[in-house]
Structure 1
Amino acid sequence: MILTFALGAGLVSLVLAVSVYTISRGYLDVQRQRSAERQASADADFMRGRLAMPGASAQEVLTALDPPANTALLLRWEGEWFTSQASVGPGDLPADLVPAVTSGTQTTLPLNHDGRPFLAVGIPLPGGSGLFEIAPLEELQTTLAILRTVLAACGIAATLGAAALGMWASRRVLQPLRDVAGTAAQIAGGELDTRLERTHDRDLATITESFNSMVDSLQRRIERERRFFGDVSHELRTPLTTLVTGVGVLDRYSDDMPERSQRALRLVVNEVDHLRRLLDDLLALARTEAGLHHDPPEPLSMGELLAHTMADSNRSGELLVVAADCRVNGRKLALERAFVNLMDNADRHGGGLVGVTVQRVGRDVVIHVDDAGRGVPVDERERVFERFATGHTARGGTSGTGLGLALVAETVAAHEGRVRCTDRPGGGARFTVTLPCIDD
């Protein structure tokens, strides 16, 4: 918008300046020519009267004239030339001027003498004679130069003024959009009580009210989902806990059962365990999306967090390599669960976890989780983070819930980070988590 205002004003200023200068120059040229012709006519009338007197000398009559400053006079009288200035002679006149004047025609022609502009006016006199007046145009040229400078300055000032006006107008026009964007960003960050301020501008009042109504509706829906989440988690956990406990009791006495019953019990145990893990992942994923967390964000050392996570999950600390550590602002439980899911994914579907590396790249901390499997095909590397990506999508695994990597992606995104899957140098898959550091 600023560029548009500036270009528009510049174009208008250019057109106006060229128009004003052209018209002014034409007018001043005409006025200067008329002034020179009037002066020359008056001088010619004076000379006609004086030369008609008996015994009049042409040179004395010419000398008696008082022309304007820097104006030279030449007189052709009875075939002879007389001049008021020794530096100007008949050879300095335009070639077409003398024949025209001696033939009885008043003529005005431009003249350039010693690099300076002049106007030569010829007035016929009796007997084929003539008076030639050479008037300077330097004053006119100076006036035109000043006019050009003033017009250029006005054009530049108008362009700069239009740019400033465009900046002010663009800020005023775009400010409501900035307010909407800022409010939307705050709402997306979890501040659901944020609203746009009411305005007295009738054009913006409708947008403000519609936006606030939309956010009110969104907040009510999220609150309903949160209540639904709490109800569902309670209703599902209670019977599932009972089922797990009952199956666990039966499993302890499985040796006393017939072989066929043992196989059936083993299937039930596996399915109940799968259902328990699926419910845990679903609830964790729903909690992450709804912004419900048991722990607030806090500064966390990634090296210490991963060491603690690997120790709690009974994994060897020798697999962890901390090349460069830094702290992140995160939720400890959520990040621990995300990295456990990555390690479990490596063990279940990637041939086993072979290493976890922590390093710093610029203002980010980068964590590599490597496995010893066959790797992930390029066309599957985005799909593995989708929900319920089981079967061939999860590298042939069927024991997972299909939510582990989806929960990782949601958790990392909630911490303003990103996760991706690539090839590990030497073979296998590498899952890379990048999180922003808070260290200076």
Structure 2
Amino acid sequence: MKRWNRIDIKLGAVMLGMFFVVLLLLGVVINELFTKFHTQQSHDEAEELASHVVKMLQEQEQTSVDIIGTMAEFSSVDIFLIQADGQFSPRDQVILAQRHYPQGIWDQASLLASHQVVKEFVSQGKWFLLHGKPILDSAGHMNGGVYVVSSLEEMKESIRTIRLMILLTGVGAFIVTLGLVLMLSRKLSYPLLQIEKAARRIAKGEFETRMPVKRGDEIGSLIGAINDLAGELQRYRDTRNEFFANISHELRTPITYLEGYADVLSKGLIEDEDEQRKTLDIIAEESRRLMVMIRELFDLAKMEEGRIDFYPEWVAMNALLEKSAAKVKLRADSKEVELEVRHPEKEQYIWADSNRMEQILMNLLDNAISFTHQGRVMLTLTHGREQVKLEVTDTGPGIPADELPYIFERFYRVEKSRSRQHGGSGLGLSIVKKLVELQGGTVEVNSRVGDGTTFRIVFPSADALEDREKGTP
């Protein structure tokens, strides 16, 4: 990963960029506010002075020019009087010659037309403000005018000082913010970088990788999800490895039996008919075991590829229960397991694939009989207005509570030390759950160690499906 392509750099750059834009806009606004305030203040002072002089001249027509000069000197401004013919007084002409003000700034025509004149201008590299006000006599006739010229250098210097302060404050704030943003971005991005490293280790097959969850926000939730994923992958790998070890043994065992006993029979080494019959029974049993295992593997492969085909129809559940029970009765009797079937007198129907439903029942019954010794297996069908419920209950050793959440997972087998004794590949219950759910049903399990296990399958009843098609709530 390139240094500049790290998430903390990107996050810091975005946050810093946003702060810089806000700081820049704030600086521009503050500068404009102070500039307008000081400029307006200078204009107001100049206008107030010009108005005061005009009022004094209107009230005292014989006001001395020296008094005007004293007032100008006291106020640190230049005050010029213009006569009704547009000419400056002799005193003012001397002062104007000394000041070297630009000639085009006075606009006598506007002033003599009773208009106020306001201008900012530069003279000898310095800024000045010109305020001109007309003088009217008591009859409203033009009687000349007054020009007040004040320096804007002090105001400009104040604005420059304020701008410098704004700039220095902005630079300081930017530096402080830079440090805070770097700390914050690294604090926010650090767990993400750790998550990335953990994810890469998991991708390499290090499923034991775990990260401590130290926060309760979205990142903490993400870390928890990564840990859960690693745990699930680790458990999947362990069960898969165990499955391959077990399935290789399970396939090899019946094949070895079939090959050995078939070889013995073909060579005529067993002459006693009872022994031959026992040998053929063993061959039949191992063949059945092998077929069940191959069928389960084939079904699992089709389910993983999404190629399971269903041919739904109205399945008579009473008859299906009796048929399935009859198929496993011989095996149950051989283990001295009592097999009991209970269902309503009236035939119950569900909309499903009859062959798949028989496969579900056979898997559950085989499983129950395998783990039950001199006990009872009960196959029960009950019905209601909305549901048809099927239960397979055994009196076997039961399933530990911590194993229940995993029994429907592929390759998972309870009592792994005794799994080969009971046979099976660990696929049957996973296939049952998948087949039930794909046909619109649900499956659950209740079990207590020492009290046996009950598998419960629920499908919508015929009445419920009929109401659903009619739109009845």
TM-score by length of 2: 0.41
TM-score normalised per structure 1:
0.44
